[in-house]
Amino acid sequence: MMTEIHEEEFSDLIDTVKAASRGWIEAIAIISEDGTPLAHNSELEFNAEYVGAATAAICGAISAVIELLNVKNYRKADIQLEGSRYLLMRPYKGHYIVCLTKQKPNLGFINMILEAYLSEREK
Amino acid sequence: MDAFAPVFAALFTNSFFSLILSLIALILSIIALIYSRKAVKKTVPQVQAPKPPEKKEVEVKALEKPAKEAAPEKAPPRVELLQAPARPPPAEVKGIPEIKPKKEETTLGFDSLEDLATIIGMDSLLLFNMMGMSIESYNVSEENRVAASLADFVATIRKFDSSFNAVSIENDLKTMIFAVGRVGEMEVFALSVGKTELELEEVRELLKTYLSDLMGRTG
């Protein structure tokens, strides 16, 4: 079930999360289930359309795989990239939040920040 | 032979003789029945032995008996370890307060964990989660390895006592491992080592406030 939240609220949310991350998150975006970028905040050159499509594809593939295991939902997907960066994906109210971290990030801290701000996610 | 004919005739016509004959026949049939049952008993166990249920019983008894016999008198911890997997998996520990990001300016004014540690007299402080990830630390070398070990320690204790959320060890220094609070579904724990006068609850409250400030700090 999708809850109606304005894009402005999404923008506020990702700005807050990025600011609270003490610089560990370099880029953050909210992507709808069909891959449309709803809001993003980045210090890097960031092609939101491309990231949105890729995120939707990855999350769709994860959902398909876990369905085979008779699991309906997942809470997070962390991908370690080359150069010790991480791509963190979290389902949030029918959308996806995707974050790109700095090199060798403090994942414990980032996870805590994401939990703190996204804990109202639907179950 | 003809001389015996009247004797046989007399015998067969005698009712007493026929009664004796029938008794003998009855006794012989009883003896035959007894022998046949004995023969069946000898063969039946060989046929029934491989039956799976009976064999299982025999195996279970065979396992249980040595365990009872071999169990030393002073081995209650070992028994606990064997019983532990049968318990339901530890659920979320109740009574751990939720920590939310504080929006307004901090009232404590701790800019870092180092400030907090210095003020409360801690030599080392480590905040970690149950996934074994370090969140923040002060004066802890190899913090990720320490966080992983401590998370494993807490998880192990919770197998025996699912309500476990704090332990305090006092020697020359006071070492405390305790649950600070819950952020969303993540439990945050702390390790503190130092010559502090504060009690565990006071340190917990200070760390809760610090974490709340930290998460709400967006500047």
- The burial class, CB within 10 Å (0-12 / 13-18 / 19+), for A84 is exposed
A107 contacts in B (CB within 8 Å)? 133
* Residue B132 and residue B65 share a domain: no
Q: Determine the average pLDDT of the residues in A58-87.
A: 90
B-interface mutation test, from A112, A114, A120, A121, most B Cβ less than 10 A away:
A112
Residue B36 lies in a domain: yes
Specify the fold of A7-118: Beta-Lactamase (3.30.450)
Query: How high is the pLDDT of residue B131?
Result: 92
Is B219 in Cβ contact with A116 (below 8 Å)? no
pLDDT band at residue B79, thresholds of 50, 70 and 90? Answer: very low
Q: What would the mean pLDDT of B104-129 be, rounded to a whole number?
A: 85
Say whether A119 and B183 touch across the interface (CB within 8 A).
Answer: yes
- Say which residue, B106 or B176, is predicted with more confidence: B176
Instruction: Tell me if residue B24 falls in helix, strand or coil.
Output: helix
| The two three-digit tokens of residue A11, written as one number | 């923008």
Q: Per mean pLDDT, which range of A10-14, A28-32, B84-88, B212-216 is the poorest?
A: B84-88
Instruction: Report pLDDT for B152.
Output: 95
Contact B215 A112 (CB under 8 A): yes
Q: Which domain holds residue B45?
A: 5-69
Name the residue in chain B with its Cα closest to that of A19.
B218
Q: Is B106 contained in some domain?
A: no
pTM value > 0.80: no
Q: With contact defined as beta carbons under 8 Å apart, do B45 and B54 qualify?
A: no
- Residue A112: pLDDT band (50, 70, 90) is very high
The pLDDT of B183-195, averaged and rounded, is: 93
Residue B103 tokens read as: 């929006």
Q: What integer pLDDT is reported at residue B52 of this predicted model? A: 45
* Per-residue model confidence (pLDDT) at position A5: 56
Q: Count CB neighbours of A50 within 10 A.
A: 11
Last residue of a domain, one of B69, B104, B122: B69
Whether residue B119 is found in the same domain as residue B206 = yes
Distance between B159 CA and the closest CA of chain A, angstroms? 23
- Say yes or no: A20 contacts chain B, CB-CB below 8 A: yes
Report yes or no: A116 at the B interface, CB cutoff 8 Å: yes
For chain B, what is the domain count? Answer: 2
Return d(Cα B104, Cα B11) in angstroms, integer: 128
Higher pLDDT, B150 or B10: B150
Q: Assess if residue B127 is contained within a domain.
A: yes
Q: Are residues B57 and B141 in the same domain?
A: no
Greatest mean pLDDT range, B1-15, B89-103, B176-190: B176-190
Whether the per-residue pLDDT at B60 is higher than 70: the answer is no
Whether the predicted pLDDT of B61 surpasses 60: no
Task: Please state the rounded mean pLDDT for residues B55-64.
Answer: 46
- Cβ proximity of A108 and A88 under 8 Å: no
B124 with B192, same domain: the answer is: yes
> Which token pair is B126?
């480590």
CATH code, B208: 3.30.450.30
Give the number of other CB atoms < 10 A from CB of residue A95: 24
Side chain identity at residue A74, one-letter code: Y
Judge if B119 and B207 occupy the same domain.
yes
Question: B101 CB near a chain A CB, below 8 Å?
Answer: yes
Partner residue facing B185 (CB), from A20, A115, A117:
A115
What's the CA gap between B132 and B150, in Å, rounded? Answer: 7
**pLDDT top residue among B42 and A7:** A7
pLDDT of residue B28: 87
- C-alpha Rg value of chain B to the nearest Å: 41
Of B147, B185, B218, the CB nearest to A20: B218
Identify all chain A residues contacting B147, using CB atoms and an 8 Å cutoff: 108
Residue B55 pLDDT > 80: no
Residue of higher predicted confidence among B213 and B81? B213
